[in-house]
Chain A
Amino acid sequence: EVQLVESGGGLVKPGGSLRLSCAASGFTFSSYSMNWVRQAPGKGLEWVSSISSGSSYIYYADSMKGRFTISRDNTKNSLYLQMNSLRDEDTAVYYCAREERSGYFDPWGQGTLVTVSS
């Protein structure tokens, strides 16, 4: 069974940093691109970042460029999101999602909540 389990969320002050992790199992992690998607409380979905299977191609949504860094460790079947200079508006549930061959996200993890507040 394909599983994605996020961790690392929590409460952080504005301007602070946090590193999210996503542990993958049940599939050949090194063969798939992976993504982060977030959802602010009561709001819609927002794509955050994408990384190709070998880390050669990395993309970010404009509002995250320069503050967030996506990475992966294929030896540990893990995806990461380093978030710096956090703002109140970064408060959200952060999901990791596998990018299918079709280019869409499936499946998703259960998400980890990041709260940015003083």
Chain B
Amino acid sequence: EIVLTQSPATLSLSPGERVTLSCRASQSVSSYLAWYQQKPGQAPRLLIYDASNRATGIPARFSGSGSGTDFTLTLSSLEPEDFAVYYCLQRSNLWTFGQGTKVELK
């Protein structure tokens, strides 16, 4: 089973700040990695797929990078609606999620 480790567990930030979230895989997943956003009481929403492709309707402030075992989700400037939990998901070998990173208001 491929294990995804996200860091940090929590980020306390202010609107307008730049955010960098990390996801590390226990073995190479090539570029088969996605990022999801989840707000309280809601289903997850797909943000990025295949490491760097924005899903339909996702603002340009969200970007993804990486390949192999190290991946990054970047938000160029935090908007109030971006405070949420972010998960990575690999589909290289079945599917596994990271444990999530919570982006909270400072």
Chain B interface residue number, banded: 20 to 34
In angstroms, Cα B38 to Cα A36, docked, is 17
Residues of A within 8 A of B94 (CB): 47, 50, 59, 61
Closest to A48 in B: B95
Question: A104–B91 contact, CB under 8 A?
Answer: yes
Question: B89–A108 contact, CB under 8 A?
Answer: no
Per-position binary interface string of chain B over residues 79-98, scored 1 when its CB falls under 8 Å from any chain A CB and 0 otherwise = 00000000101010011111
- The verdict on B50 contacting chain A, using a C-beta distance below 8 Å, is yes
Question: B43–A104 contact, CB under 8 A?
Answer: no
In angstroms, Cα B93 to Cα A59, docked, is 11
- The verdict on A32 contacting chain B, using a C-beta distance below 8 Å, is no
Instruction: Tell me the number of A-to-B contacts counted with CB atoms below 8 Å.
Output: 50
Question: B95–A108 contact, CB under 8 A?
Answer: no
Closest to B32 in A: A103
- The verdict on B28 contacting chain A, using a C-beta distance below 8 Å, is no
Q: Of B36, B44, B50, B100, which is within 8 A of A102 by CB?
A: B50
Chain A interface residue number, banded: 20 to 34
In angstroms, Cα B39 to Cα A108, docked, is 13
Residues of B within 8 A of A103 (CB): 32, 91
Interface residues of B in 11-62 (CB under 8 A from A): 32, 34, 36, 38, 43-44, 46, 49-50, 55
- The verdict on A45 contacting chain B, using a C-beta distance below 8 Å, is yes
A44-B100, A47-B96 known; A111+B91 contact, CB < 8 A: no
Per-position binary interface string of chain A over residues 56-86, scored 1 when its CB falls under 8 Å from any chain B CB and 0 otherwise = 0001011000000000000000000000000
Give me the interface of A with B, judged by CB distance under 8 Å: 35, 44-47, 50, 59, 61-62, 95, 100, 102-111
A-B contact pairs, 27 of them (CB 8 A): A35-B95, A44-B87, A44-B97, A44-B98, A45-B44, A45-B87, A45-B100, A47-B96, A47-B97, A50-B94, A61-B94, A62-B1, A95-B43, A95-B44, A102-B49, A103-B32, A103-B91, A104-B34, A104-B49, A104-B89, A104-B91, A105-B89, A105-B95, A106-B46, A106-B55, A108-B43, A109-B43
